[in-house]
Amino acid sequence: MARVLRMPGVAADATEAVLSEWLVEESGEFATADALATVETEKAAVDIEADAAGRVLKTLVPPGAQVEVGAPIAVLGEPGEHVDDLDALLASLGVEEPTDVVVPERRDVPTDPESAAPVIEEVQTPAAPAAPAPARGSSEAVNGRVFASPLARRIAKEQGLAIEQITGTGPRGRVLRRDVEAAVESRSDHPPEAGHPSPAPTPRPAASAAYEEIAHSRIRLATARRLTESQQQAPHFYLRRTVRAEALLELRAELNQDQDIHLSVTDLIVKAVAAAHRRVPEMNVTWTSDAVRRYRTVDVAVAVATDRGLLTPVLRDVGSLPVTSVAASLRDLADRARAGRLKQDDLEGGSISVTNLGMYGVEEFAAVINPPHAAILAVGAVRAEPVVEGDAVVPGRVLSVTLSVDHRPVDGVVAARWLGILTDLLEHPARILA
């Protein structure tokens, strides 16, 4: 029996979303829990999963279309079902093919349907000769360019594949992640013969322009809007402390001797943040127009840099997790963030964020609060400095932390008390594990 698939509400308070990509085409069969399509929110790519096996009888909106939540996007049938008169079926379901579908303009730089990131192509020199017609089995080229998502290009590069030799199944022949994965699988099934290595990528012409314009990704636009609103609406104040890091580094080294999962300083800091929140529950809050909302569990967001912009996936109930589980969960969130596979739920919740630029040698910085959180902790690099112990100056290892706080739900005394407890936990890190 035919049924209508509608655009789901994939994000809180969202009234519309972009149908990024159909993963099952018209007349295609699918099983229960198969992904039918990918929908873009401002910060994540969300797969629409089938609640039962069936067949796609008709897609009603094209890839890239902006669709209102609840609007019909496809008609599904039972496995093997065929319909002779689709128009009559649509009429019986009370569904009309939309005539006012909005497909956002691509502004010369095609938007990646997998990750909403711009596909950057080199500027062709005026004298560049026309590219020959693409060979059978290769992706469609336009004016010498091959359209491919950044994720597809990265995977192809890592696997040593020439993107020009991969057949694209996306809009306008664009190479998507699934195309590269299929090419990798095909190569595994049919390895190249000895003496016949895979062809090297064709060199591209040098760029002639003095600059290039990179269209804003949805993530970068969303980040810009949210952080601008944060600075305008949340009265920030900042507290800084210098932490003696010798004991923290020693504990990390000791734990890493016997663990399969490699612990980072960030893993231990996230665990310490949760412990500090348990001791100062007045910090585990967010501001709403009606009340201060205090949470019963500690959910901590961690900033992850991706090719498409900054993401802050949230780790749930950190206080109940052993530090090895914290490490494993943070690796998983970071990997999925960089691959564009986070779900909307991964990006919602929490009362505090942690951002660490220490691996880039940054000694100290202040971060903008990520709404609706009440605070963000900025962590600098561990560095060698002389420190005072009693009446003597001795060599030491220190790191700087800066806490940015929203003054609406949190007063300065509460934040200072919290930062003092965090410092004590980091300087006596065995307490983090308790």
**From 118-127, 240-249, 265-274, 292-301, the region with the lowest mean pLDDT:** 118-127
**From 84-88, 185-189, 393-397, the region with the lowest mean pLDDT:** 185-189
Distances in Å between the Cα of 318 and the Cα atoms of 135, 141, 284, 321, 345 are 53, 48, 12, 5, 16
Active site residues: 407
Neighbour count for residue 110 (Cβ, 10 Å): 22
The reply to whether omega before 110 is within 30° of 0 (cis) is: no
The answer on pLDDT for 263 being more than 70 is yes
pLDDT of residue 8: 84
pTM: 0.64
- Which contiguous run of DSSP H or E holds residue 232? helix 218-233
Listed in sequence order, the residues at least 6 apart from 127 whose beta carbon sits closer than 8 Å to its beta carbon are none
The answer on pLDDT for 260 being more than 80 is no
Residue 137: pLDDT band with limits 50, 70, 90: very low
The answer on pLDDT for 434 being more than 50 is yes
What end-to-end distance do the CA atoms of the chain give, in Å?
A: 56
Residue 104: pLDDT band with limits 50, 70, 90: low
Map out the domains of the chain with their CATH numbers. 3-93 (2.40.50.100), 119-213 (4.10.320.10), 218-433 (3.30.559.10)
pLDDT of residue 185: 80
The answer on pLDDT for 416 being more than 80 is yes
Residue 402: pLDDT band with limits 50, 70, 90: very high
Please calculate the CA angle 266-270-275 and round it to the nearest 5 degrees.
145
pLDDT of residue 126: 40
The answer on pLDDT for 206 being more than 70 is no
- The average pLDDT across 97-125 equals 44
Considering only residues 216 and 367, tell me which one the structure prediction assigns the higher pLDDT: 367
**From 12-16, 214-218, 375-379, the region with the lowest mean pLDDT:** 12-16
Q: Where are the alpha helices (DSSP H) in 286-404?
A: 323-338
Residue 127: pLDDT band with limits 50, 70, 90: very low
Which residues make beta-bridge pairs with 387? 394
The answer on pLDDT for 279 being more than 90 is yes
Q: Determine the residue type at 157.
A: K
pLDDT of residue 182: 84
pLDDT of residue 309: 83
Q: Determine the residue type at 246.
A: E
Q: Where are the alpha helices (DSSP H) in 161-217?
A: 177-189
Distance CA 60, CA 50 (A): 17
Burial 298-321 (b: 16+ CB within 10 A, else e): bbbbbbbebbbbbbbbbbeebeeb
Name which of 375, 386, 379 is nearest 411 in CA terms: 375
CB 64 within 8 A of CB 22: no
Q: Give tens-digit pLDDT for 68-97.
A: 888 899 999 999 888 888 888 888 888 876
The answer for 16, left when phi > 0, alpha when psi is -120 to 50, beta otherwise, is beta
Helix pair angle (246-257, 265-279), 10° resolution: 120
Length reported for the chain: 434
CB 352 within 8 A of CB 376: yes
The answer on pLDDT for 193 being more than 70 is no
CB 110 within 8 A of CB 119: yes
Residue 303: pLDDT band with limits 50, 70, 90: very high
Name which of 312, 302, 311, 310 is nearest 268 in CA terms: 302
pLDDT of residue 195: 52
Chain center to CA of 295: 25
Neighbour count for residue 331 (Cβ, 10 Å): 14
Listed in sequence order, the residues at least 6 apart from 335 whose beta carbon sits closer than 8 Å to its beta carbon are none
Distance CA 376, CA 352 (A): 5
Residue 296: pLDDT band with limits 50, 70, 90: very high
Q: Which residue has tokens 């709404």?
A: 371
The answer on pLDDT for 265 being more than 70 is yes
Per DSSP, 345 falls in state G
Which residues make beta-bridge pairs with 175? 148
Neighbour count for residue 6 (Cβ, 10 Å): 17
Q: Give tens-digit pLDDT for 316-374.
A: 999 999 999 999 999 999 999 888 788 878 988 999 999 999 999 999 999 999 999 99
CB 38 within 8 A of CB 340: no
**In degrees rounded to 5, what are phi and psi of residue 3?**
-145, 160
pLDDT of residue 116: 38
Residue 140: pLDDT band with limits 50, 70, 90: very low
Q: Give tens-digit pLDDT for 157-183.
A: 878 888 888 888 765 577 877 888 888
Q: Give tens-digit pLDDT for 22-35.
A: 989 888 999 998 88
Report the mean per-residue pLDDT for the chain.
82
CB 210 within 8 A of CB 123: no
Chain center to CA of 57: 32
In this structure, what token pair is assigned to residue 279?
A: 């001791």
